[in-house]
Structure 1
Amino acid sequence: MMQLRAVVSRGFTLLELMLVILLIGLLSAMVTLNFSGESRQEKLTNEAERFQQISQYVAETALLKQQEWGLYVLPDRYGFLYYDYSSSKWLQADEPEGLRQHKLPQDMTLTLELDGLEGADSNLLSQLDWQIDEDEQPTDEQTEIPVLPQVFILSSGEISPFKLLFVEQSEVTLLYSAVSTDFSIPLTRSEVSAERP
């Protein structure tokens, strides 16, 4: 009987073995996630590229359908509007699905620059004056989708000049990428950099 007790006390219990296997599994999953996940640069590049491609599609659609389109930008999302002649209003674009409002990943923000761009004052787009009736003025609850776009994408092929800055801020060093245009397609996209374009 004495020998049997000594042999039993030297081994591991089933609970201890299962705990070790669980810890090894968790550690390997964390390592896999860290190595297979996108880097900050890749995430920023993908978001800027997505915006560039969709904006290009909208500009081509405006030309082909002879329809006025627009872009609106909020700090964490952007979307597209089209002008509906029957209701005389700007409406949210829902089709195709890629044109629906797009929310950026966490730790990424947008800044839209319209003023101070080269040639912005001399273009016909700067003279457009879309009127908003007083009953259409947005309230605080309606800030998800603006009444008017901030950037106009016209059926003539003109686009109001803009620079959209994508900022990735998950770490101390901020990363930037910008998509911009000077009145028409194609839009240009800057490479990801720690310096603001």
Structure 2
Amino acid sequence: MQLNTDCTAKPRHCSQQGFTLIEVMLVIVLVGVMISAVQFTFSSSKPEQILQQNSARFAGIFDLAAEYGLLNNVELGLFVKENTYQFLGYDGVQWSPIADNPLFEEFTLPDNVEISLQLDDLPIEEPLLFDSSLLITEEDTDSFFEEEDEEKKIIPQVYMLSGGDITPFSLTFSFAEFTFDDDENVSFKVSGIYSTPLTIEGPIANDSSR
């Protein structure tokens, strides 16, 4: 007896084939988390490799954060301060750390490594896709500029919209004081123009007189 394998004849006996977009993106995020967990657990003593490792970590986590915002329909932001960076979520009222996501928590760079955020003078030919001031309330602005006894609210410098758009920016990783005699003074630059993935440039030779 020949079995009928035509799904059009008996659709209830035929399972759905393929994956949905959400399932595919979830796999991408999970794979990215596993790769980052393996790739960034090692440490290096060579200056160029230290900068390369930290710039690659940042780019990887930023891309994961953008995917997270897209999947969860939430606006995210990047806050850079001195030698640290962290990712924040916007709940419609204020910016706050993203709960239950260790990868997005504040990360402190190794000693002597510094980062420089650039938002202007980038090769941008189109107007900005969104107004970042829409995500900053008057209360946020007051708390940012005024000294208060309570902890100040954190306002990100780079925004990641739930639709996938990001603030154009570049983040340069370099050494605050270069003391390695056997290696060239270099830096690595991570850039994002409107969308992910980010691009990494380097090693870039710096002025030796620095």
Query: What TM-score do you get using the length of structure 1 for normalisation?
Result: 0.71
Give the drift of 1:70.
0.3
Aligned residue pairs: how many? 159
Of Structure 1 and Structure 2, the greater helix share is in: 1
Q: Which has the larger radius of gyration?
A: 1
Q: Which residue of 2 aligns with 1:176?
A: 187
1:165 maps to 2:203: no
* Structure 1 unaligned regions, length at least 5: 1-35
Where does residue 71 of structure 1 map in the other structure? 78
Contact 1:120 1:126 in 2 (8 A): no
Is 1:190 matched with 2:201?
yes
Is 1:124 aligned to 2:129, yes or no?
Answer: yes
Q: Which residue of 1 aligns with 2:47?
A: 40
Identity of aligned residues (%): 30
How far the C-alpha of 1:119 sits from its partner, in A, is 2.2
In the other structure, the counterpart of 2:22 is none
In structure 2, how many angstroms separate the alpha carbons of the residues matched to 1:135 and 1:102?
Answer: 26
Long gaps (5+) in structure 2: 1-42
SS at match of 1:156: coil
CA–CA distance in 2 between the matches of 1:180 and 1:145? Answer: 28
Distance 1:96-1:60 versus aligned 2 partners, 3 A rule = same
Shift of 1:140: 5.6
Change beyond 3 A, Cα 1:95–1:175: farther
Distance 1:99 1:45 in 2: 20
Give the Cα separation in 2 of the matches to 1:127 and 1:82: 14
The alpha-carbon distance between structure 1 residues 186 and 175, as it changes in their structure 2 partners (threshold 3 A), is same
* Alignment root-mean-square deviation, CA: 2.7
Render the CA deviation track for 1:22-64: whole Å, top value 9, x for unaligned.
xxxxxxxxxxxxxx95200111111000000000000001111
Structure 2-normalised TM-score? 0.67
Greater CA deviation, 76-85 or 158-167? 76-85
Pick from 81, 94, 105: which aligns with 2:110? 105
Call closer, same or farther: CA 1:146–1:40 in 2, change over 3 Å. Answer: farther
Task: Label 1:120 to 1:78 Cα distance change in 2 as closer, same or farther (>3 A).
Answer: farther
- Counterpart of 2:112, as a letter, is D
Query: Contact 2:113–2:174 at 8 Å: present in 1 too?
Result: yes
